[in-house]
Structure 1
Amino acid sequence: MTKCNFNINFTEPVDKLIEKAKNGITSIGGTFEGNMKKGIYSIPTQAGKVTGNYLVKENSIVFEIIDKPALVSCKKIENELRKYLSSTSEALLSFD
């Protein structure tokens, strides 16, 4: 059962955005499998794993959270992904 979903709009090339997401997720011990159209991911948090998938549609990415710890809100996941993907720095994703 889906826990939540949201869209993130983008203006940069989708291949660069997907590469950034992959690097960010794997750099904190998560998994990422996908391409410029769709994929799946798992993000570790102190409360447990966030798992989901994504689908690229024109100039937005639809994120679907399939499972998450009760202590990690959908809003927190969305905010962290938005902040990370829109940043120009290489800061780490953080769900603390």
Structure 2
Amino acid sequence: MELLLTYDVDTTRPEGRRRLRRVAKLCEGHGVRVQKSVFEILTDDKTLLKLMYDLEDMIDAETDSIRIYRLPHAGTEDVHTLGIATAQPHRADLVL
């Protein structure tokens, strides 16, 4: 499944800045960052549930916000960009 994950972490206090770094690092392990707090993710149900569990454990439910949108099939391939944004490949071969 293809997802769009967005987050807004309250960084007015030092612990909020730490949460922001932890949330960003977790999301980087699951998808492609397309904007500062926006990730495109390709995953399965099991991995999504684990990601949501980890995020829920990380954030402050009183001040932080995470939204996960399920995209239609091939939704990450049909992206229109403006400015410096570029469409990111998700299914291209990975060369190490």
Larger strand proportion, structure 1 or 2?
1
Report the TM range for the smaller structure's normalisation. 0.3 to 0.5
Higher relative contact order (CA 8 A, sep 6+): 2
- Higher-Rg member (1/2): 2
| Structure-2-length-normalised TM-score | 0.34
